[in-house]
Structure 1
Amino acid sequence: MNLTAAPDNGRHGRAAEHAAWVFYLIAALGSTIGQIWAGVQTPPWPDSLHWWWRALLVAPFAVVLDLGGAVTAAFADWRQRLGEAAYGWRTLSASSVTVGVAINVLGHADVPYLAVVFGTLGTFAYAVWLMHSAARRRDALRTAGKLADTGPVYGITQWWREPAVTRRARSLALAERLAVHESLDAARRQLRDERRGAALAKHVETLIRARHDDPVRADIAATTLDLDVLAAELTAQADVTGWARVIGADLLPPAPPHTASDPDVAPEQVPLPTFAGPMPPADVLRRVPQDQASYDRWRQMWAELKADPDIELAEFAQRHGTSLRQVQWIRRTGLSGLLDSPHTLIDRIAQLAASNGQVQHRPAPPS
């Protein structure tokens, strides 16, 4: 951290304040001169009254208009620091400055240049005063701990590209003291979780309503349950590893078939596929592992299921770290007899094809 940053900022702030005061005094003086000028020429003064007498008579009113706008604005700023809205003081201040600007514009309407110059001076002086006093008020409130800290600067490109993410990131940065990139990452992650949670809560509500034939009871059940909490609980209990294992098994390439020329496995060593029970559906057959390690794990789990047919499937799935759906696939596949052989199904089908080819191409015995 740069220890000289705070002193430098303090010096720059004081220099800017001094420049603002000088600018305000010059602009207010120019606006006052413009009002005096208009007051000398516009009203129907007697011809015998000299111009400087007219200026002396008009000057107090011009000064009061410009100074009154600043004084009432100062009162409004003071009351705002105390937590009040100060609508009365602010309205009185704006009205005073509006009258002064109108006098400058209408009083010099015959000379557009003077009307623009004096009107702009009055408006600019008042704007500088308001912005200066507002900045000092915010500094005082921030020092007193009554104003929130300023958020990081994300840049116009980031705001244009991801407005929702940037708004959330700014709030997170202020609440948790995060840097720019950390707050953006946290905001994206939070918004992504909220979208997933909302979609899951919608599906959970549909499922809950489908469990009740009576629409009134369905409404009561869907309204009583906190769907957001239920969705979060389901997300925490989701078997991500099991789903990854199932999806990954579908993405494995098919094993190379064993043929008669394979030196490792002889054709007569691989038993042909047999079916002891009903064939499982095609979607279950597609999930039977093709690699030997996963297939052996299925056979081990099927052996346990066959030894204890009354076991609770959900408890069995939790014990083995897999999903209930996969345990159901293993049981259906095992009941069909496809897990009785130590060789994978793809190996047995390949051997069956190879055996058929040998029968068809076997040469006739000599006569």
Structure 2
Amino acid sequence: MNLTAKLGDGPHGRAAEHAAWIFYVIAALGSTIGQIWVGVQAPPWPDGLDWWWRAALVAPFAAVIDLGGVVTAAFADWRQRLGEAAYGWRVLSAVSVTVGVAINVIGHHDVPYLAAVFGGLGVFAYSVWLMHSAARRRDALRAAGKLADTAPVYGLAQWWREPAATRRARSLALAHRLPLHDSLDAARQQLRDEKRRAALATHVETLIRSRHDDPVRADIAATTLDLDAVAAALEAQADVPGWARVIGADLLPPAPPDSGADSDTAREPAAPRALAGPMPPADVLRRVPQDQASYDRWRQLWAELKADPAIEPAEFAQRHGISLRQVQWIRRTGMSGLLDSPLTLIDRIAQLATTNGHVPHHPASAS
């Protein structure tokens, strides 16, 4: 049993139920008295008929009118619990209560106080009964698993600030039983992902259309593909750490200028840079060839890739008889600048060591 049913079965719920039934009895009795009052005075009774005989004759009909509204409303509530609309029972209930209220209001029109008291009792009692029965019906349906649990209360301020996120959070809370703050966090994340994926799908469609000169073929390709699925696959393949390294490399501070004491050294030709771009991952660096022939082959392939940056990696790999992964290694290594020099990586490191003064000492030459 859920929390709502437990609360309804608690001491506060039972006290409210008892108070409601006491109220119904008093209100119904007041409405019936008002109708009997009208029935004693309004109809053309014989002059010799005492008032209590009149009341006894009118009372059953007045009671039937009020009781009919309650009975038909109870039938309507029962059928609604079974999933029916029960329009007929509801209409009969409303008609019965309307007749009772009209008798009290019209019959006491000369005394506005009595018209308001007796007519108001009928309207108020019937309204409370409808809300009470509707609440009990919802509790019964929820306990039977036929009605969704209530969502967290987000408050007017939250609805005003983030109407879309709050509406999504309410649906997530009902579907996955999330608490208030967790549902809001999940809703905000979903909306951000959907916005980014929609923008990515738009760019994917533009790219697909640009690959076809024929507009009809472009429409077919863009319509056939599930652009949202392509966007989701691209998100899964995105190299987030790699982009973070590239952007972080651009944010590094510039190297400090050489001091005057090193002016003689500064006039010497500088050694070639070991790296012109962001450092590739370690698994790519391990695959850079160390022998001169294989290294020259990589430099040749990188030159072709630079000359035609729009070529598909798969097409390039098939053209040169290499794997797609090797094309990716060559591209990442070349973008870092490691293929700009004719020297291999080992030779360049040795040249840098020699330029910085780290020359091995030979005793023979010292003598």
TM category (shorter chain) comes to 0.7 to 0.9
**Residues 34 and 104 of structure 1 are in contact (CA less than 8 Å); yes or no, is this contact kept in structure 2?**
yes
Separation in structure 2 between the aligned mates of residue 329 and residue 319 of structure 1, nearest angstrom: 10
Instruction: Name 1:79's counterpart in structure 2.
Output: 79
Q: What is the Cα deviation at residue 75 of structure 1?
A: 0.7
Instruction: Name 2:265's counterpart in structure 1.
Output: 266
One-letter identity of the residue aligned with 2:191:
L
Instruction: Name 2:354's counterpart in structure 1.
Output: none
- CA-based RMSD of the aligned residues comes to 3.8
| Superposition map of 1:240-251 within 5 A | 240-251=240-251
Task: Name which of 313, 332, 340 aligns with 1:334.
Answer: 340
**Residues 8 and 14 of structure 2 are in contact (CA less than 8 Å); yes or no, is this contact kept in structure 1?**
no
| Superposition map of 1:262-341 within 5 A | 262=262, 266-271=265-270, 288-289=276-277, 294=279, 306-308=296-298, 309-310=300-301, 315-316=325-326, 318-319=328-329, 329-330=335-336, 334=340
Separation in structure 2 between the aligned mates of residue 32 and residue 216 of structure 1, nearest angstrom: 79
The answer to whether residue 121 in structure 2 is matched with residue 142 in structure 1 is no
Instruction: Name 1:181's counterpart in structure 2.
Output: 181
Separation in structure 2 between the aligned mates of residue 109 and residue 7 of structure 1, nearest angstrom: 44
| TM superposition score normalised by structure 2 | 0.74
Q: What is the Cα deviation at residue 123 of structure 1?
A: 1.2
Separation in structure 2 between the aligned mates of residue 301 and residue 7 of structure 1, nearest angstrom: 67
Separation in structure 2 between the aligned mates of residue 8 and residue 17 of structure 1, nearest angstrom: 9
**Residues 173 and 183 of structure 1 are in contact (CA less than 8 Å); yes or no, is this contact kept in structure 2?**
yes
Instruction: Name 2:116's counterpart in structure 1.
Output: 116
Separation in structure 1 between the aligned mates of residue 239 and residue 154 of structure 2, nearest angstrom: 38
The answer to whether residue 194 in structure 2 is matched with residue 191 in structure 1 is no
Separation in structure 1 between the aligned mates of residue 253 and residue 27 of structure 2, nearest angstrom: 82
Structure 2 CA distance for partners of 1:48 and 1:318, relative to 1, 3 Å? farther
Separation in structure 1 between the aligned mates of residue 81 and residue 98 of structure 2, nearest angstrom: 25
Show structure 1 runs of 5+ residues with no match. Answer: 275-286, 343-367
User: With CA pairs under 8 Å and 6+ residues apart, which has the higher RCO, 1 or 2?
Assistant: 1
| Superposition map of 1:1-367 within 5 A | 6=6, 10-262=10-262, 266-271=265-270, 288-289=276-277, 294=279, 306-308=296-298, 309-310=300-301, 315-316=325-326, 318-319=328-329, 329-330=335-336, 334=340
**Residues 279 and 336 of structure 2 are in contact (CA less than 8 Å); yes or no, is this contact kept in structure 1?**
no
Separation in structure 1 between the aligned mates of residue 271 and residue 301 of structure 2, nearest angstrom: 31
Show structure 2 runs of 5+ residues with no match. Answer: 290-294, 303-316, 318-322, 350-367
- Identical-pair percentage: 69
SS of the aligned residue for 1:266 comes to helix
Separation in structure 1 between the aligned mates of residue 269 and residue 101 of structure 2, nearest angstrom: 103
SS of the aligned residue for 1:334 comes to coil
Separation in structure 2 between the aligned mates of residue 150 and residue 51 of structure 1, nearest angstrom: 55
One-letter identity of the residue aligned with 1:310:
L
Structure 2 CA distance for partners of 1:268 and 1:144, relative to 1, 3 Å? same
**Residues 105 and 116 of structure 2 are in contact (CA less than 8 Å); yes or no, is this contact kept in structure 1?**
yes
Deviations 1:308-367 (CA, angstroms, capped at 9, x unpaired) = 2337596357559xxx6x656446992899x9987xxxxxxxxxxxxxxxxxxxxxxxxx
Separation in structure 2 between the aligned mates of residue 301 and residue 262 of structure 1, nearest angstrom: 35
One-letter identity of the residue aligned with 1:271:
A
Structure 2 CA distance for partners of 1:125 and 1:203, relative to 1, 3 Å? same
SS of the aligned residue for 2:253 comes to coil
Deviations 1:194-237 (CA, angstroms, capped at 9, x unpaired) = 11112211222222223223232222212211111111001111
Deviations 1:113-166 (CA, angstroms, capped at 9, x unpaired) = 322222221111111211222222222222222222222232332223222222
Number of residue pairs matched? Answer: 318
Deviations 1:28-86 (CA, angstroms, capped at 9, x unpaired) = 11122222223333444455444333333332222122111110011111111222111
SS of the aligned residue for 2:191 comes to helix
**Residues 73 and 89 of structure 1 are in contact (CA less than 8 Å); yes or no, is this contact kept in structure 2?**
yes
Q: Which moved more, 1:25-34 or 1:14-23?
A: 25-34
Instruction: Name 2:312's counterpart in structure 1.
Output: none
Structure 2 CA distance for partners of 1:224 and 1:167, relative to 1, 3 Å? same
One-letter identity of the residue aligned with 1:52:
W
Deviations 1:177-198 (CA, angstroms, capped at 9, x unpaired) = 2222112111111111111112
Separation in structure 1 between the aligned mates of residue 132 and residue 248 of structure 2, nearest angstrom: 65
Structure 2 CA distance for partners of 1:223 and 1:8, relative to 1, 3 Å? closer
Separation in structure 2 between the aligned mates of residue 58 and residue 262 of structure 1, nearest angstrom: 121
**Residues 201 and 230 of structure 1 are in contact (CA less than 8 Å); yes or no, is this contact kept in structure 2?**
yes
**Residues 66 and 100 of structure 2 are in contact (CA less than 8 Å); yes or no, is this contact kept in structure 1?**
yes
Separation in structure 1 between the aligned mates of residue 256 and residue 169 of structure 2, nearest angstrom: 52
One-letter identity of the residue aligned with 1:112:
P
Structure 2 CA distance for partners of 1:59 and 1:236, relative to 1, 3 Å? same
Separation in structure 1 between the aligned mates of residue 276 and residue 337 of structure 2, nearest angstrom: 11
Structure 2 CA distance for partners of 1:332 and 1:117, relative to 1, 3 Å? farther
SS of the aligned residue for 2:10 comes to helix
Instruction: Name 2:307's counterpart in structure 1.
Output: none
SS of the aligned residue for 1:310 comes to helix
Deviations 1:253-311 (CA, angstroms, capped at 9, x unpaired) = 22112143349x8213452889xxxxxxxxxxxx945xxx959x9xx799756542337
